Homo-oligomer: A and B are copies of this chain.
Protein backbone atom coordinates (compact mmCIF):
# COMPACT_ATOMS: atom_id res chain seq x y z
CA UNK A 1 0.00 0.00 0.00
CA UNK A 2 1.14 3.52 -0.72
CA UNK A 3 2.75 5.37 2.14
CA UNK A 4 3.92 8.92 2.30
CA UNK A 5 7.53 8.24 3.10
CA UNK A 6 9.21 11.60 2.55
CA UNK A 7 8.25 15.20 2.84
CA UNK A 8 10.30 17.36 0.50
CA UNK A 9 7.84 19.88 -0.90
CA UNK A 10 7.87 20.12 -4.69
CA UNK A 11 7.79 23.89 -4.57
CA UNK A 12 11.21 23.85 -2.88
CA UNK A 13 12.75 22.61 -6.14
CA UNK A 14 10.64 24.35 -8.77
CA UNK A 15 9.97 22.87 -12.18
CA UNK A 16 13.45 23.07 -13.64
CA UNK A 17 15.11 21.88 -10.47
CA UNK A 18 12.69 18.98 -10.41
CA UNK A 19 13.37 17.86 -13.97
CA UNK A 20 17.11 18.15 -13.41
CA UNK A 21 16.82 16.23 -10.17
CA UNK A 22 14.79 13.43 -11.72
CA UNK A 23 16.93 13.00 -14.81
CA UNK A 24 20.42 13.53 -13.35
CA UNK A 25 21.07 9.79 -13.32
CA UNK A 26 20.12 9.31 -16.97
CA UNK A 27 22.97 7.75 -18.90
CA UNK A 28 22.58 7.73 -22.66
CA UNK A 29 23.21 4.24 -24.05
CA UNK A 30 21.67 4.40 -27.53
CA UNK A 31 23.84 5.43 -30.45
CA UNK A 32 20.79 7.05 -32.03
CA UNK A 33 20.37 9.54 -29.18
CA UNK A 34 22.18 12.70 -30.25
CA UNK A 35 20.64 14.90 -27.55
CA UNK A 36 18.40 13.74 -24.72
CA UNK A 37 16.85 15.74 -21.87
CA UNK A 38 17.74 19.42 -21.68
CA UNK A 39 16.54 21.18 -24.81
CA UNK A 40 13.21 21.90 -26.47
CA UNK A 41 13.16 18.51 -28.15
CA UNK A 42 15.28 15.40 -28.20
CA UNK A 43 17.45 14.89 -31.29
CA UNK A 44 17.69 11.35 -32.66
CA UNK A 45 19.38 9.79 -35.66
CA UNK A 46 18.07 6.54 -37.11
CA UNK A 47 19.96 6.75 -40.42
CA UNK A 48 18.71 3.89 -42.62
CA UNK A 49 16.14 2.52 -40.15
CA UNK A 50 12.48 3.42 -39.93
CA UNK A 51 11.31 5.19 -36.80
CA UNK A 52 8.54 3.77 -34.60
CA UNK A 53 6.47 5.91 -32.24
CA UNK A 54 3.82 4.86 -29.75
CA UNK A 55 2.01 6.65 -26.90
CA UNK A 56 0.03 5.40 -23.92
CA UNK A 57 -1.58 7.17 -21.02
CA UNK A 58 -2.13 5.75 -17.52
CA UNK A 59 -4.62 7.50 -15.27
CA UNK A 60 -5.15 7.12 -11.54
CA UNK A 61 -8.28 5.19 -10.60
CA UNK A 62 -8.72 4.04 -14.19
CA UNK A 63 -5.51 2.16 -14.93
CA UNK A 64 -4.11 1.94 -11.43
CA UNK A 65 -5.05 2.35 -7.80
CA UNK A 66 -2.41 3.88 -5.54
CA UNK A 67 -3.76 1.85 -2.66
CA UNK A 68 -2.08 -1.22 -4.09
CA UNK A 69 0.17 -0.03 -6.92
CA UNK A 70 3.62 0.76 -5.53
CA UNK A 71 4.84 3.91 -7.26
CA UNK A 72 8.06 2.29 -8.40
CA UNK A 73 6.13 -0.51 -10.11
CA UNK A 74 3.84 2.06 -11.65
CA UNK A 75 6.77 3.86 -13.30
CA UNK A 76 8.13 0.52 -14.45
CA UNK A 77 4.78 -0.59 -15.85
CA UNK A 78 4.17 2.71 -17.67
CA UNK A 79 7.39 2.07 -19.61
CA UNK A 80 6.70 -1.62 -20.28
CA UNK A 81 3.25 -0.91 -21.67
CA UNK A 82 4.90 1.31 -24.26
CA UNK A 83 7.90 -0.82 -25.11
CA UNK A 84 5.47 -3.63 -25.76
CA UNK A 85 3.99 -1.65 -28.67
CA UNK A 86 7.41 -1.20 -30.27
CA UNK A 87 8.21 -4.92 -29.96
CA UNK A 88 4.81 -5.64 -31.51
CA UNK A 89 6.10 -3.97 -34.69
CA UNK A 90 9.16 -6.26 -34.54
CA UNK A 91 11.20 -3.16 -33.64
CA UNK A 92 13.73 -2.20 -30.99
CA UNK A 93 12.68 0.55 -28.57
CA UNK A 94 15.48 3.07 -28.12
CA UNK A 95 14.06 6.17 -26.42
CA UNK A 96 11.10 7.26 -24.30
CA UNK A 97 9.64 10.56 -23.20
CA UNK A 98 7.55 10.84 -20.03
CA UNK A 99 4.75 13.32 -19.33
CA UNK A 100 3.75 13.33 -15.69
CA UNK A 101 0.86 15.09 -13.97
CA UNK A 102 1.30 14.94 -10.22
CA UNK A 103 -0.69 16.32 -7.34
CA UNK A 104 1.25 19.05 -5.56
CA UNK A 105 0.38 17.14 -2.38
CA UNK A 106 2.86 14.46 -3.48
CA UNK A 107 6.25 14.86 -1.82
CA UNK A 108 9.37 14.74 -3.97
CA UNK A 109 10.12 11.27 -2.65
CA UNK A 110 6.95 9.89 -4.23
CA UNK A 111 7.90 11.21 -7.65
CA UNK A 112 11.40 9.88 -7.19
CA UNK A 113 9.90 6.43 -6.67
CA UNK A 114 7.96 6.68 -9.94
CA UNK A 115 11.14 7.77 -11.71
CA UNK A 116 13.13 5.02 -10.05
CA UNK A 117 10.80 2.51 -11.69
CA UNK A 118 11.14 4.35 -15.00
CA UNK A 119 14.94 4.35 -14.73
CA UNK A 120 15.07 0.64 -13.85
CA UNK A 121 12.94 -0.20 -16.88
CA UNK A 122 15.09 2.01 -19.14
CA UNK A 123 18.28 0.43 -17.90
CA UNK A 124 17.03 -3.12 -18.23
CA UNK A 125 15.68 -2.59 -21.74
CA UNK A 126 18.53 -0.27 -22.84
CA UNK A 127 16.24 2.63 -23.59
CA UNK A 128 17.15 6.31 -23.18
CA UNK A 129 14.85 8.70 -21.36
CA UNK A 130 15.16 11.71 -23.67
CA UNK A 131 12.52 14.17 -22.59
CA UNK A 132 9.27 14.92 -20.97
CA UNK A 133 7.09 17.31 -19.13
CA UNK A 134 6.26 17.39 -15.45
CA UNK A 135 3.34 19.39 -14.20
CA UNK A 136 1.29 19.64 -11.06
CA UNK A 137 -2.12 18.05 -11.43
CA UNK A 138 -5.26 19.45 -9.85
CA UNK A 139 -6.57 15.90 -9.73
CA UNK A 140 -5.03 12.47 -9.77
CA UNK A 141 -1.75 11.10 -11.00
CA UNK A 142 -1.29 10.87 -14.79
CA UNK A 143 1.60 9.18 -16.59
CA UNK A 144 1.85 9.34 -20.35
CA UNK A 145 4.84 7.65 -21.97
CA UNK A 146 5.83 7.89 -25.62
CA UNK A 147 8.26 5.29 -26.86
CA UNK A 148 10.41 5.66 -29.93
CA UNK A 149 12.17 2.81 -31.62
CA UNK A 150 13.57 1.69 -34.92
CA UNK A 151 13.15 -1.18 -37.31
CA UNK A 152 14.76 -2.42 -40.46
CA UNK A 153 12.27 -1.46 -43.21
CA UNK A 154 12.30 -5.07 -44.45
CA UNK A 155 11.42 -6.42 -41.03
CA UNK A 156 8.58 -4.22 -39.80
CA UNK A 157 5.53 -6.36 -38.92
CA UNK A 158 2.09 -4.80 -39.18
CA UNK A 159 -1.25 -6.13 -38.03
CA UNK A 160 -2.32 -6.44 -41.61
CA UNK A 161 -0.23 -9.25 -43.08
CA UNK A 162 -2.01 -12.40 -41.81
CA UNK A 163 -2.91 -14.86 -44.59
CA UNK A 164 -5.35 -17.76 -44.74
CA UNK A 165 -3.68 -20.87 -43.40
CA UNK A 166 -1.21 -18.98 -41.16
CA UNK A 167 -0.71 -20.31 -37.65
CA UNK A 168 -1.83 -18.02 -34.81
CA UNK A 169 0.73 -17.97 -31.99
CA UNK A 170 0.92 -16.26 -28.63
CA UNK A 171 3.83 -15.92 -26.22
CA UNK A 172 3.73 -16.75 -22.51
CA UNK A 173 0.38 -17.18 -20.79
CA UNK A 174 -2.79 -15.14 -20.57
CA UNK A 175 -5.33 -13.96 -18.01
CA UNK A 176 -2.81 -13.61 -15.18
CA UNK A 177 -2.83 -9.80 -15.01
CA UNK A 178 -6.61 -9.68 -14.80
CA UNK A 179 -6.80 -12.41 -12.17
CA UNK A 180 -4.08 -10.63 -10.18
CA UNK A 181 -6.18 -7.49 -10.33
CA UNK A 182 -9.18 -9.33 -8.87
CA UNK A 183 -7.00 -10.46 -6.00
CA UNK A 184 -5.68 -6.95 -5.32
CA UNK A 185 -9.18 -5.53 -5.48
CA UNK A 186 -10.45 -8.11 -2.97
CA UNK A 187 -7.62 -7.38 -0.55
CA UNK A 188 -8.23 -3.65 -0.94
CA UNK A 189 -11.87 -4.10 0.05
CA UNK A 190 -10.89 -6.16 3.09
CA UNK A 191 -8.32 -3.53 4.04
CA UNK A 192 -10.82 -0.69 3.64
CA UNK A 193 -13.32 -2.50 5.86
CA UNK A 194 -10.72 -3.39 8.46
CA UNK A 195 -7.35 -1.63 8.18
CA UNK A 196 -5.92 -3.99 10.82
CA UNK A 197 -6.00 -6.90 8.38
CA UNK A 198 -2.89 -7.02 6.24
CA UNK A 199 -3.28 -8.05 2.60
CA UNK A 200 -2.94 -11.79 2.04
CA UNK A 201 -1.20 -12.31 -1.27
CA UNK A 202 0.96 -15.19 -0.16
CA UNK A 203 1.84 -17.65 -2.88
CA UNK A 204 0.20 -15.41 -5.46
CA UNK A 205 3.35 -13.54 -6.48
CA UNK A 206 3.17 -14.54 -10.11
CA UNK A 207 -0.26 -13.16 -10.93
CA UNK A 208 0.21 -10.09 -8.71
CA UNK A 209 3.41 -9.34 -10.62
CA UNK A 210 1.65 -9.89 -13.93
CA UNK A 211 -0.68 -7.06 -12.91
CA UNK A 212 1.70 -4.68 -11.15
CA UNK A 213 4.98 -5.27 -12.94
CA UNK A 214 4.52 -6.67 -16.44
CA UNK A 215 7.49 -7.30 -18.74
CA UNK A 216 7.45 -6.44 -22.44
CA UNK A 217 8.52 -9.48 -24.50
CA UNK A 218 11.85 -8.30 -25.83
CA UNK A 219 13.01 -11.92 -25.48
CA UNK A 220 10.38 -13.14 -27.93
CA UNK A 221 11.50 -10.64 -30.57
CA UNK A 222 15.06 -11.84 -30.08
CA UNK A 223 13.91 -15.45 -30.27
CA UNK A 224 12.08 -14.84 -33.56
CA UNK A 225 15.19 -13.17 -34.92
CA UNK A 226 17.34 -16.10 -33.88
CA UNK A 227 14.91 -18.49 -35.56
CA UNK A 228 14.94 -16.25 -38.65
CA UNK A 229 11.19 -16.26 -38.36
CA UNK A 230 9.40 -13.13 -39.60
CA UNK A 231 5.73 -13.07 -38.49
CA UNK A 232 3.17 -12.08 -41.12
CA UNK A 233 1.22 -10.03 -38.54
CA UNK A 234 1.79 -9.11 -34.90
CA UNK A 235 0.13 -7.20 -32.04
CA UNK A 236 0.66 -7.04 -28.29
CA UNK A 237 -2.01 -8.34 -25.94
CA UNK A 238 -3.04 -5.26 -23.98
CA UNK A 239 -6.83 -5.45 -24.16
CA UNK A 240 -7.29 -9.22 -24.07
CA UNK A 241 -6.74 -11.98 -26.60
CA UNK A 242 -10.18 -11.61 -28.21
CA UNK A 243 -9.71 -7.91 -28.97
CA UNK A 244 -6.28 -8.45 -30.45
CA UNK A 245 -7.47 -11.30 -32.67
CA UNK A 246 -10.17 -8.97 -33.96
CA UNK A 247 -7.58 -6.29 -34.72
CA UNK A 248 -5.42 -8.69 -36.72
CA UNK A 249 -8.40 -10.16 -38.59
CA UNK A 250 -9.86 -6.77 -39.39
CA UNK A 251 -6.54 -5.29 -40.55
CA UNK A 252 -5.65 -8.42 -42.54
CA UNK A 253 -9.15 -8.94 -43.91
CA UNK A 254 -9.26 -12.56 -42.77
CA UNK A 255 -11.10 -14.82 -40.35
CA UNK A 256 -9.68 -16.97 -37.58
CA UNK A 257 -10.37 -20.13 -35.61
CA UNK A 258 -8.85 -20.64 -32.19
CA UNK A 259 -9.05 -23.62 -29.84
CA UNK A 260 -9.94 -23.03 -26.21
CA UNK A 261 -7.75 -25.90 -25.00
CA UNK A 262 -4.72 -24.34 -26.70
CA UNK A 263 -4.96 -20.98 -24.89
CA UNK A 264 -2.01 -20.85 -22.48
CA UNK A 265 -3.18 -20.27 -18.91
CA UNK A 266 -0.88 -20.56 -15.91
CA UNK A 267 -2.13 -22.96 -13.18
CA UNK A 268 -2.15 -20.09 -10.66
CA UNK A 269 -4.30 -17.99 -12.99
CA UNK A 270 -6.57 -20.99 -13.50
CA UNK A 271 -7.02 -21.78 -9.82
CA UNK A 272 -7.38 -18.16 -8.69
CA UNK A 273 -9.94 -17.25 -11.34
CA UNK A 274 -11.91 -20.34 -10.30
CA UNK A 275 -11.71 -19.16 -6.66
CA UNK A 276 -13.36 -15.94 -7.82
CA UNK A 277 -16.03 -17.88 -9.69
CA UNK A 278 -14.59 -16.71 -13.01
CA UNK A 279 -14.00 -18.74 -16.15
CA UNK A 280 -10.21 -18.78 -16.78
CA UNK A 281 -10.77 -18.76 -20.55
CA UNK A 282 -12.81 -15.57 -20.30
CA UNK A 283 -10.06 -13.99 -18.18
CA UNK A 284 -7.59 -14.82 -20.97
CA UNK A 285 -9.90 -13.64 -23.77
CA UNK A 286 -11.06 -10.39 -22.22
CA UNK A 287 -8.90 -9.62 -19.19
CA UNK A 288 -6.13 -7.71 -20.91
CA UNK A 289 -2.84 -6.24 -19.66
CA UNK A 290 -0.86 -9.44 -20.27
CA UNK A 291 1.51 -7.71 -22.71
CA UNK A 292 2.27 -10.94 -24.51
CA UNK A 293 2.82 -10.97 -28.28
CA UNK A 294 0.19 -12.44 -30.60
CA UNK A 295 1.44 -13.18 -34.09
CA UNK A 296 0.82 -15.18 -37.22
CA UNK A 297 3.36 -17.22 -39.18
CA UNK A 298 3.07 -19.21 -42.42
CA UNK A 299 2.42 -22.94 -41.88
CA UNK A 300 5.68 -23.59 -43.69
CA UNK A 301 7.48 -22.18 -40.65
CA UNK A 302 6.02 -24.77 -38.26
CA UNK A 303 9.35 -26.57 -37.96
CA UNK A 304 10.92 -23.43 -36.58
CA UNK A 305 8.19 -22.55 -34.09
CA UNK A 306 7.91 -26.09 -32.77
CA UNK A 307 11.40 -25.74 -31.28
CA UNK A 308 10.21 -23.00 -28.92
CA UNK A 309 6.87 -24.33 -27.72
CA UNK A 310 7.92 -23.67 -24.13
CA UNK A 311 7.72 -19.93 -24.87
CA UNK A 312 5.10 -19.78 -27.61
CA UNK A 313 1.73 -21.53 -28.02
CA UNK A 314 0.01 -22.20 -31.32
CA UNK A 315 -3.64 -21.46 -30.51
CA UNK A 316 -5.32 -21.57 -33.89
CA UNK A 317 -5.10 -20.61 -37.53
CA UNK A 318 -6.18 -17.92 -39.93
CA UNK A 319 -9.20 -18.67 -42.13
CA UNK A 320 -10.86 -16.83 -44.99
CA UNK A 321 -12.82 -13.77 -43.92
CA UNK A 322 -16.29 -15.19 -44.49
CA UNK A 323 -15.63 -18.02 -42.02
CA UNK A 324 -15.72 -15.45 -39.24
CA UNK A 325 -13.79 -15.40 -35.98
CA UNK A 326 -14.54 -18.46 -33.89
CA UNK A 327 -13.39 -20.40 -30.87
CA UNK A 328 -13.77 -24.16 -30.61
CA UNK A 329 -14.56 -24.79 -26.94
CA UNK A 330 -13.12 -27.63 -24.89
CA UNK A 331 -16.38 -29.50 -25.40
CA UNK A 332 -16.11 -29.08 -29.16
CA UNK A 333 -18.75 -26.36 -29.61
CA UNK A 334 -18.02 -23.47 -31.93
CA UNK A 335 -18.55 -19.98 -30.45
CA UNK A 336 -18.19 -16.76 -32.37
CA UNK A 337 -15.66 -14.62 -30.48
CA UNK A 338 -16.59 -11.11 -29.36
CA UNK A 339 -14.17 -8.18 -29.14
CA UNK A 340 -14.52 -6.24 -25.96
CA UNK A 341 -11.89 -3.52 -25.50
CA UNK A 342 -12.94 -0.65 -23.34
CA UNK A 343 -16.15 -2.05 -21.96
CA UNK A 344 -14.59 -5.45 -21.37
CA UNK A 345 -15.09 -5.44 -17.65
CA UNK A 346 -18.67 -4.31 -17.86
CA UNK A 347 -19.68 -6.90 -20.41
CA UNK A 348 -17.50 -9.46 -18.76
CA UNK A 349 -20.08 -10.58 -16.22
CA UNK A 350 -22.63 -11.30 -18.90
CA UNK A 351 -20.40 -13.19 -21.25
CA UNK A 352 -18.92 -15.09 -18.36
CA UNK A 353 -22.28 -16.27 -17.10
CA UNK A 354 -23.48 -17.06 -20.62
CA UNK A 355 -20.40 -18.99 -21.35
CA UNK A 356 -20.41 -20.88 -18.09
CA UNK A 357 -24.02 -21.80 -18.60
CA UNK A 358 -23.27 -23.17 -22.01
CA UNK A 359 -20.32 -25.17 -20.87
CA UNK A 360 -21.93 -26.87 -17.92
The residues of A with any CB-CB pair to B shorter than 8 Å are: 11, 14-16, 18, 34-35, 38-48, 50-57, 59-63, 84-86, 88-89, 91, 95, 97-101, 130-133, 135-140, 142, 144, 146-149, 151, 153, 156, 158-160, 234-236, 239, 243, 247, 251, 339, 341-343, 346
Checking B34, B48, B99 against A50 with a beta-carbon cut-off of 8 angstroms, the contacting residue is B34
Chain B residue nearest to A61 in the complex (CB): B138
| Interface pair A59/B341, CB less than 8 Å apart | no
Q: Once bound together, how far apart are the Cα atoms of A144 and B143, in whole Å?
A: 9
| Interface pair A41/B35, CB less than 8 Å apart | no
| Interface pair B52/A43, CB less than 8 Å apart | yes
Residues in B whose Cβ lies below 8 Å from that of A137: 59, 62
- Nearest-neighbour CB distance to chain B for A83, whole angstroms, equals 10
Knowing A41-B149, A45-B50, A159-B40 touch, does A55 contact B140 (C-beta < 8 A)?
no
- Nearest-neighbour CB distance to chain B for A241, whole angstroms, equals 15
Knowing A53-B148, A146-B146, A339-B16 touch, does A59 contact B89 (C-beta < 8 A)?
no
| Interface pair A85/B15, CB less than 8 Å apart | no
| Interface pair B140/A139, CB less than 8 Å apart | yes
Chain B residue nearest to A148 in the complex (CB): B53
| Interface pair B52/A139, CB less than 8 Å apart | no
Chain B residue nearest to A136 in the complex (CB): B62
Q: Once bound together, how far apart are the Cα atoms of A50 and B34, in whole Å?
A: 9
